[in-house]
Amino acid sequence: MKKVIALGGSNSEKSINKILAVHAANMLEGIEVNVLDLNAYELPLYGIDIETRDGIPQNAHNLLNDIKESDGIVLSLAEHNGAYSTAFKNAFDWMSRIDNKLWSEKPMLLMATSPGARGGATVLEIAKGRFPFMGGNIVADLSFPLFFDNLKEGVVTDERLNKELKIVVGKLQKAL
Ligand SMILES: Cc1cc2nc3c(=O)[nH]c(=O)nc-3n(C[C@H](O)[C@H](O)[C@H](O)COP(=O)(O)O)c2cc1C
Protein backbone atom coordinates (compact mmCIF):
# COMPACT_ATOMS: atom_id res chain seq x y z
CA MET A 1 0.00 0.00 0.00
CA LYS A 2 1.26 3.47 -0.82
CA LYS A 3 1.87 5.75 2.11
CA VAL A 4 1.84 9.48 2.70
CA ILE A 5 3.23 11.47 5.55
CA ALA A 6 1.02 14.07 7.21
CA LEU A 7 2.93 16.90 8.83
CA GLY A 8 2.10 20.23 10.45
CA GLY A 9 4.76 22.91 10.08
CA SER A 10 4.61 23.72 13.76
CA ASN A 11 5.88 22.45 17.10
CA SER A 12 2.62 23.21 18.88
CA GLU A 13 1.22 20.15 20.66
CA LYS A 14 -2.24 21.36 19.63
CA SER A 15 -1.17 22.40 16.14
CA ILE A 16 -4.15 23.26 13.96
CA ASN A 17 -1.94 22.68 10.94
CA LYS A 18 -1.22 19.15 12.08
CA ILE A 19 -4.97 18.61 12.56
CA LEU A 20 -5.66 19.89 9.05
CA ALA A 21 -2.87 17.82 7.49
CA VAL A 22 -4.14 14.66 9.17
CA HIS A 23 -7.74 15.44 8.22
CA ALA A 24 -6.78 15.88 4.56
CA ALA A 25 -4.53 12.80 4.50
CA ASN A 26 -7.32 10.68 5.96
CA MET A 27 -9.53 11.68 3.03
CA LEU A 28 -7.22 9.75 0.68
CA GLU A 29 -8.52 6.34 -0.28
CA GLY A 30 -6.44 3.18 0.04
CA ILE A 31 -3.41 5.08 1.31
CA GLU A 32 -1.56 4.49 4.57
CA VAL A 33 -1.13 7.70 6.57
CA ASN A 34 2.01 8.17 8.63
CA VAL A 35 1.42 11.10 10.98
CA LEU A 36 4.64 12.93 11.79
CA ASP A 37 5.16 15.42 14.58
CA LEU A 38 7.97 17.97 14.42
CA ASN A 39 8.42 17.51 18.18
CA ALA A 40 9.69 14.01 17.55
CA TYR A 41 12.65 15.51 15.67
CA GLU A 42 14.04 17.93 18.20
CA LEU A 43 16.92 19.86 16.71
CA PRO A 44 19.30 22.55 17.91
CA LEU A 45 18.87 25.95 16.31
CA TYR A 46 20.72 25.79 13.01
CA GLY A 47 24.06 27.55 12.92
CA ILE A 48 27.10 27.04 10.74
CA ASP A 49 29.33 26.79 13.82
CA ILE A 50 27.34 23.99 15.42
CA GLU A 51 27.24 22.17 12.09
CA THR A 52 31.01 22.50 11.66
CA ARG A 53 31.67 21.43 15.24
CA ASP A 54 29.10 18.64 15.72
CA GLY A 55 27.90 17.74 12.24
CA ILE A 56 24.28 17.32 11.22
CA PRO A 57 22.04 15.95 13.99
CA GLN A 58 20.53 12.48 13.61
CA ASN A 59 16.99 13.89 13.84
CA ALA A 60 17.50 15.85 10.63
CA HIS A 61 18.46 12.58 8.94
CA ASN A 62 15.48 10.85 10.53
CA LEU A 63 12.95 13.38 9.25
CA LEU A 64 14.51 13.41 5.81
CA ASN A 65 14.41 9.61 5.72
CA ASP A 66 10.72 9.66 6.63
CA ILE A 67 10.12 12.00 3.68
CA LYS A 68 12.15 9.84 1.33
CA GLU A 69 10.41 6.64 2.40
CA SER A 70 6.98 8.12 1.68
CA ASP A 71 5.08 8.15 -1.60
CA GLY A 72 3.59 11.57 -0.97
CA ILE A 73 3.39 14.45 1.46
CA VAL A 74 0.54 16.35 3.08
CA LEU A 75 2.05 19.40 4.69
CA SER A 76 0.24 22.28 6.34
CA LEU A 77 2.33 25.26 7.37
CA ALA A 78 1.82 27.45 10.39
CA GLU A 79 2.30 31.14 9.74
CA HIS A 80 4.33 33.16 12.21
CA ASN A 81 4.66 36.84 11.37
CA GLY A 82 4.06 36.15 7.72
CA ALA A 83 6.64 33.39 7.44
CA TYR A 84 7.47 29.79 8.40
CA SER A 85 7.36 28.93 12.10
CA THR A 86 10.86 28.82 13.56
CA ALA A 87 10.54 25.10 14.33
CA PHE A 88 9.64 24.26 10.73
CA LYS A 89 12.27 26.54 9.20
CA ASN A 90 14.89 25.06 11.48
CA ALA A 91 14.11 21.47 10.44
CA PHE A 92 13.92 22.61 6.81
CA ASP A 93 17.33 24.29 7.04
CA TRP A 94 18.97 21.29 8.70
CA MET A 95 17.55 18.89 6.11
CA SER A 96 18.67 21.15 3.29
CA ARG A 97 22.26 20.69 4.49
CA ILE A 98 21.93 16.96 3.83
CA ASP A 99 20.03 17.23 0.56
CA ASN A 100 19.10 20.52 -1.07
CA LYS A 101 16.30 18.69 -2.92
CA LEU A 102 14.88 17.44 0.35
CA TRP A 103 11.27 17.16 -0.85
CA SER A 104 12.57 14.51 -3.21
CA GLU A 105 9.92 15.13 -5.93
CA LYS A 106 7.27 13.41 -3.80
CA PRO A 107 3.80 14.61 -4.80
CA MET A 108 2.82 17.19 -2.20
CA LEU A 109 -0.43 18.69 -1.06
CA LEU A 110 0.67 21.97 0.49
CA MET A 111 -1.65 23.85 2.79
CA ALA A 112 -1.65 26.49 5.48
CA THR A 113 -4.21 27.39 8.07
CA SER A 114 -4.62 29.95 10.81
CA PRO A 115 -7.39 31.21 13.05
CA GLY A 116 -7.51 34.34 10.88
CA ALA A 117 -9.24 35.12 7.62
CA ARG A 118 -6.09 34.90 5.48
CA GLY A 119 -5.48 31.29 6.46
CA GLY A 120 -1.70 31.46 6.30
CA ALA A 121 -1.82 32.66 2.69
CA THR A 122 1.46 34.54 3.07
CA VAL A 123 3.56 31.58 4.21
CA LEU A 124 1.83 29.43 1.62
CA GLU A 125 3.03 31.78 -1.13
CA ILE A 126 6.55 31.76 0.29
CA ALA A 127 6.64 27.95 0.25
CA LYS A 128 5.09 27.75 -3.21
CA GLY A 129 7.85 30.01 -4.48
CA ARG A 130 10.68 28.17 -2.75
CA PHE A 131 9.88 24.45 -2.59
CA PRO A 132 10.10 23.84 -6.35
CA PHE A 133 13.81 24.69 -6.15
CA MET A 134 14.20 22.09 -3.41
CA GLY A 135 12.74 18.99 -4.94
CA GLY A 136 9.19 20.16 -4.24
CA ASN A 137 6.47 18.70 -6.43
CA ILE A 138 3.40 20.62 -5.30
CA VAL A 139 0.44 19.04 -7.03
CA ALA A 140 -2.17 21.12 -5.18
CA ASP A 141 -2.36 23.79 -2.54
CA LEU A 142 -4.95 25.31 -0.27
CA SER A 143 -5.13 28.14 2.20
CA PHE A 144 -7.70 27.18 4.85
CA PRO A 145 -9.00 30.32 6.59
CA LEU A 146 -10.70 30.71 9.97
CA PHE A 147 -9.69 27.27 11.18
CA PHE A 148 -11.81 27.21 14.32
CA ASP A 149 -14.93 28.30 12.43
CA ASN A 150 -14.41 25.99 9.50
CA LEU A 151 -13.19 22.73 11.05
CA LYS A 152 -15.21 21.57 14.02
CA GLU A 153 -15.05 18.12 15.59
CA GLY A 154 -13.45 16.65 12.51
CA VAL A 155 -15.96 18.16 10.09
CA VAL A 156 -15.39 20.96 7.59
CA THR A 157 -18.47 23.05 8.18
CA ASP A 158 -18.13 25.42 5.25
CA GLU A 159 -19.46 23.70 2.15
CA ARG A 160 -17.42 25.67 -0.38
CA LEU A 161 -14.22 25.07 1.56
CA ASN A 162 -14.98 21.37 1.94
CA LYS A 163 -15.42 21.17 -1.82
CA GLU A 164 -12.07 22.88 -2.35
CA LEU A 165 -10.45 20.47 0.10
CA LYS A 166 -11.90 17.48 -1.74
CA ILE A 167 -10.53 18.85 -5.02
CA VAL A 168 -6.98 19.31 -3.72
CA VAL A 169 -6.99 15.91 -1.99
CA GLY A 170 -8.23 14.40 -5.25
CA LYS A 171 -5.27 15.93 -7.06
CA LEU A 172 -2.85 14.32 -4.63
CA GLN A 173 -4.69 11.01 -4.87
CA LYS A 174 -4.27 11.08 -8.64
CA ALA A 175 -0.56 11.85 -8.39
CA LEU A 176 0.15 8.96 -6.00
C1 LIG B 1 4.71 34.46 17.00
C2 LIG B 1 3.40 34.26 16.28
C3 LIG B 1 3.19 34.90 15.09
C4 LIG B 1 1.99 34.72 14.39
N5 LIG B 1 1.83 35.33 13.19
C6 LIG B 1 0.75 35.05 12.44
C7 LIG B 1 0.64 35.54 11.11
O8 LIG B 1 1.51 36.21 10.60
N9 LIG B 1 -0.46 35.22 10.40
C10 LIG B 1 -1.43 34.40 10.91
O11 LIG B 1 -2.40 34.12 10.21
N12 LIG B 1 -1.36 33.92 12.17
C13 LIG B 1 -0.28 34.21 12.93
N14 LIG B 1 -0.18 33.69 14.20
C15 LIG B 1 -1.27 32.87 14.73
C16 LIG B 1 -1.09 31.43 14.25
O17 LIG B 1 -1.69 31.29 12.99
C18 LIG B 1 -1.73 30.47 15.25
O19 LIG B 1 -0.96 30.49 16.44
C20 LIG B 1 -1.83 29.07 14.71
O21 LIG B 1 -2.45 28.27 15.72
C22 LIG B 1 -0.48 28.51 14.32
O23 LIG B 1 -0.64 27.22 13.80
P24 LIG B 1 -0.34 25.90 14.66
O25 LIG B 1 -1.51 25.74 15.64
O26 LIG B 1 -0.33 24.82 13.64
O27 LIG B 1 0.94 26.11 15.38
C28 LIG B 1 1.00 33.88 14.92
C29 LIG B 1 1.23 33.22 16.14
C30 LIG B 1 2.42 33.40 16.81
C31 LIG B 1 2.67 32.64 18.10
Structure confidence by residue, pLDDT tens digits, 156-168: 999 999 999 999 9
CATH of the domain at 139: 3.40.50.360
Q: How far, in Å, CA of 54 to CA of 50, rounded? A: 6
Q: What's the pLDDT at 23?
A: 98
Q: Which amino acid is at 27?
A: M
Q: How many domains does the chain have?
A: 1
How much is the pTM?
0.98
Which domain, by its residues, includes 53? 3-175
- Which residues in the chain come in under a pLDDT of 50? none
Q: How far, in Å, CA of 57 to CA of 75, rounded? A: 22
Q: What are the residues whose beta carbons fall under 8 Å from the beta carbon of 85, sequence distance 6 or more?
A: 9, 10, 11, 77, 78, 79
**pLDDT (tens digit, 9 = 90+) per residue, 82-118?**
999 999 999 999 999 999 999 999 999 999 999 999 9
Distance 109 CA to ligand 1 centre (A): 20
**Residue from 79, 88, 146 to probe ligand 1 pocket by mutation (most atoms less than 8 Å from CB):** 79
Distance 116 CA to ligand 1 centre (A): 9
